[in-house]
Amino acid sequence: MSKIKIAIAGSSGRMGRILLESVARADDLVLHAALEHGGSAMLGRDAGELSGAPCGVKISAEVEAALQGADVLIDFTRPEGTLHHLEICRRLGVNMVIGTTGLNAQQKAQLGAGAQDIGIVFAPNMSVGVNLVFKLLETASRVLSEGYDIEIIEAHHRHKVDSPSGTALGMGEVVARTLGRNLEACAVYGRVGVTGERDPSTIGFATVRGGDIVGDHTVLYAGTGERIEITHKASSRATFALGALRAARYLAVHSAGMYDMQDVLALK
């Protein structure tokens, strides 16, 4: 069987470097293209320098030329960059694994439109463990639907630009959907001053930013006389990279459409 040809967006960033390393170690994958923005100092360099072994693939800002012949683009960049890449991938027939966070409803709708032509795995978090937590939250929320206040606490490194994290919002969406609530209507993103008693129908979010925290998420169900906490802590970005590669393999054998990690891991 031929190897799956992988392109990586944001290849010199924190996630990009780990993706390069992970692809280099995989027997069934091969690096086809490494992308960076036009002002990057890494342009023209061998992408393998970032993973410890030269591979002959030059880092490029020429997206359309670089993606010719690729099977899957893995994109953990910013919403604007991801949507630009989407247009080109749709035109070229290149599938996408998207871990970009901070997309609004309109931008997510653009992904859905793109999935009419190509396969897209879009998830707020590619970690296998986090996606198992999503499934556990469905069960917990059904059982603890009455008499429990629900709060979501997340912590990330000082460089993260969006808040709450896409994973925290994804957890909130799972909880709200299971409880028959609309997250946009019931979410509380900050409390300060005299806020009054807590509305039991709300889902609260608390955010911590500091240091080099890779990603911690806890969903707290606080009842009378007991608390239940479902927690995931990531100690390395490698967990997200390995999940993204599983998603790329999934797209290699599935037709055009919008998928998430619950599909990839057969948790639906």
Pinpoint the residues of the chain covered by CATH 3.40.50.720. Answer: 4-122+237-264
Distance, CA of 7 to CA of 100 (rounded, Å): 15
Q: How do residues 150-203 score in pLDDT, each as one tens digit?
A: 999 999 999 998 999 989 999 999 999 999 999 999 999 989 999 999 999 999
φ/ψ of residue 155, rounded to 5: -135, 135
Predicted local distance difference test score (pLDDT) of residue 101: 86
The H or E element spanning position 175 is helix 166-179
Predicted local distance difference test score (pLDDT) of residue 239: 93
- Is residue 1 predicted with pLDDT exceeding 80? no
Distance, CA of 56 to CA of 20 (rounded, Å): 13
Pinpoint the residues of the chain covered by CATH 3.30.360.10. Answer: 128-234
Fold for 128-234, please state it.
Answer: Dihydrodipicolinate Reductase; domain 2 (3.30.360)
List of E strands, 114-226: 119-122, 149-156, 187-188, 203-209, 215-222
pTM, two decimals, is: 0.83
Residues found in the chain: 268
Could you tell me how many helices (H) and strands (E) the chain has, helices first? 9, 12
CA dihedral defined by 106, 242, 77, 217, rounded to 10 degrees?
70
What is the arrangement of strands in the sheet containing 227-234, beginning at the earlier edge strand?
Answer: 187-188, 203-209, 149-156, 215-222, 227-234
Assigned superfamily of 4-122+237-264? NAD(P)-binding Rossmann-like Domain (3.40.50.720)
Could you list the active site residues? Answer: 156, 160
Predicted local distance difference test score (pLDDT) of residue 125: 87
Q: How do residues 6-55 score in pLDDT, each as one tens digit?
A: 999 999 998 999 999 999 999 999 999 999 999 898 999 999 888 777 78
Distance, CA of 83 to CA of 143 (rounded, Å): 39
Distance, CA of 260 to CA of 204 (rounded, Å): 25
Angle at 170 between CA 165 and CA 171, to 5 degrees: 100
Looking at 28-149, list the stretches that DSSP marks H as alpha helix, in order from N- to C-terminal side: 63-67, 79-92, 105-114, 128-143
Strand 149-156 and strand 215-222: pairing?
antiparallel
